[in-house]
Amino acid sequence: MNAALFLAQRVTAVILAFAVTIHLTTILYAARQGLTAQHILQRTHGNWAFLTLYSVFVVAAAIHGPIGLRNILREWLGWWGSRVDSLLIAFALLLIVLGLRAAYGVFVS
């Protein structure tokens, strides 16, 4: 793995640790308060903090995941080259599009 991918993997890991902690804390809070999906959507509607957090979460996961998958494909299966890299870039873009669409959908719901 080159230095840029190594750094991207580590930086996104830190971001994901923060985002996952907030995400799980929010889930526990909602569950303990007995909030329904309707209540949660009311609280997230138009909430810029929610949209920002989950947008950062999505982008970090879309970068982190394909880099790790690239390493697994290289080490375990011996797959390498521009085809694999292109496929993983397309996968990352798909994750970004679908994830941001979901976050925005909850934001405007």
Delimit the domains of the chain by residue range.
3-108
Rounded to whole angstroms, how far apart are CA atoms 15 and 60? 7
CATH topology of domain 3-108: 3 helical TM bundles of succinate and fumarate reductases (1.20.1300)
- Residue 70: in which H helix or E strand, if any? helix 48-77
pLDDT of residue 79: 85
Residue 86: which of 68, 71, 70 has the closest Cα?
70
List, for residues 56-65, the tens digit of each pLDDT value. Answer: 999 999 999 9
Write the single-letter amino acid at 54.
Answer: Y
* Rounded average pLDDT over 45-53: 96
pLDDT of residue 107: 95
- What percentage of residues in the chain have a pLDDT greater than 70? 99
- Residue 12 sits at the vertex; the CA angle it makes with 7 and 21, to the nearest 5 degrees, is 145
CB contact at 8 A, 19 and 60: yes
Confidence of residue 80 (pLDDT cuts 50, 70, 90): confident
Task: Please count the CA atoms within 13 angstroms of the CA of 98 that sit on its side-chain side.
Answer: 8
Other Cβ atoms less than 10 A from the Cβ of 105: the count is 10
Residue 81 has pLDDT above 90, yes or no: no
